[in-house]
Amino acid sequence: MGVITLRQAAEWCGGLIDPKYADVAFLGANNDSRKIESGQLFIALQGERDGHDFIPAALEKGAAAVLCSRKVGDYPAIIVEDTRKALGDIARGERRRIGMKVVGVTGSVGKSTTKEMISAVLAKTYRVSKTPANHNNDIGMPMAVLGMSEDTQVAVLEMGMNHFREIAYLASIAQPDVAVITNIGTMHIEHLGSQQGILQAKLEILEGMKEGGKVILNGDDSLLWNLHRQNDLCITYFGVQNPECDYLGSDIVQIPDLLRFNVKCGHLTFPVELSLEGIHYVSDALAAIGVGVEMGMNPAKIQEALSQFRNMAGRQEIFEAKGCTIIKDCYNAGPESMAAALAVLGNKPGRHVAVLGDMLELGVCTQAEHYRVGRIAAEKADLILAYGPNSSRVVNGAITGGVPESKAKGFENRDEIVSAMKRMVKPGDVVLVKGSRGMHMELILEQFLKEET
């Protein structure tokens, strides 16, 4: 990561520094005093708790300096009015100083996996840095930029949002050379009103793009496909359904633990293998292939990278435990990703058990979407255990879809659903555990797998 002096950082963010500390340097940044590493800049954010209260603890753990709105002692510091905005300003300055190419990735579903695939592909040719898991907001992404190696040639930055203008802000920091939008779904519709609102918010990534930048979009998404007719952007499309896509996937074959398909792009045609289950991963891989080809990579290196790719922890981890096959997919959930995960469940041999947590931030669509997921689950699962305030809607959908009442149960208490799992799940079952991050489905799985004492 690059060494930044307080003098340089203060110039970037318009902050004030004590001249005697002007040459103090830091490496990276962190807003958590418990996790800060020696030499980092501590960001004193004002949230539910006041970050200034943790300045002494951060300094004790080795923070080189502090970004704050008021000092509570004599130590190296940059004083600003708004520490959140100043963090973004410093990251923007560092992005320009390093001068790496930036690939920005957003979308409703699959953006984290796509980010990981793009990073894996590009790493075969370039020195790559990427946003860590969950670092896709106005705090995490700037901190990720400040933590990047000074010799980074390409940064792959995930951009998330749940309100308008959030991606515009992140794009102003990242200034992408390449922008990827995976799809326009229904996650965060509570705050954005409609899929058109979600589209508008995702397209904010284009506002920060450099002149001549490349845009890579899902051509199977009707809302995104229309864009090439509406403006002068240099748009390239990937997809499996739309034959006009520039990167077209075909001949998809799913066997246990292996996904095969062919890619056609221009005059090139080549096969790809992924050690993943779920045909929805083909779109993610096509986006990564598009980025690789657009950045001049050899297809053979792209094939090699994808054949070696392994997904992030918590993203459709499949393992054996308690005599069952467990599909752990607890990272997040929306209607589209729920349907994809249930499809994977349904393709596994054995009795199918779906343990489904609520999907959050769906607004007025909440009841309808949970009911719809219940109907989908009825086609894929033999036993459905739903968890959360909207569990009754999932259960109603499942029963309407033909699942017996004895095989579709809803719970709002974590201990009760774990108890039901221990009673009803049998050796040989295939068990999918999935829900929004805020539902903490991983805790349910941990309790279920914990040996009795």
Domains assigned to the chain: 3-84 (3.40.1390.10), 99-307 (3.40.1190.10), 317-449 (3.90.190.20)
Q: Is the dihedral of CA 424, 425, 429, 433 positive or negative?
A: positive
The predicted structure's pLDDT at residue 42: 98
Distance between CA atoms of 427 and 260, rounded to whole angstroms?
A: 30
pTM of the model: 0.86
Query: Is 114 in a helix, a strand, or coil?
Result: helix
The predicted structure's pLDDT at residue 453: 47
Please give the average pLDDT of every successive group of 10 residues along the chain, which has 453 residues: 91 97 97 96 93 96 97 94 98 97 95 96 98 91 96 97 93 97 80 85 93 94 83 87 97 93 95 95 97 96 97 84 95 92 95 97 93 98 98 98 97 98 97 96 96 62
Among candidate residues 191, 164, 175, the one with its CA nearest the CA of residue 142: 175
Backbone angles phi, psi at 24, to 5 degrees: -65, 135
Among candidate residues 168, 1, 187, the one with its CA nearest the CA of residue 112: 187
The predicted structure's pLDDT at residue 230: 61
Distance between CA atoms of 173 and 89, rounded to whole angstroms?
A: 7
Distance between CA atoms of 303 and 298, rounded to whole angstroms?
A: 9
**Helical packing angle, 111-122 and 281-294, nearest 10°:** 40
The predicted structure's pLDDT at residue 210: 83
Alpha carbons within 13 angstroms on the beta-carbon side of residue 339 total 13
Distance between CA atoms of 438 and 280, rounded to whole angstroms?
A: 23
The predicted structure's pLDDT at residue 190: 66
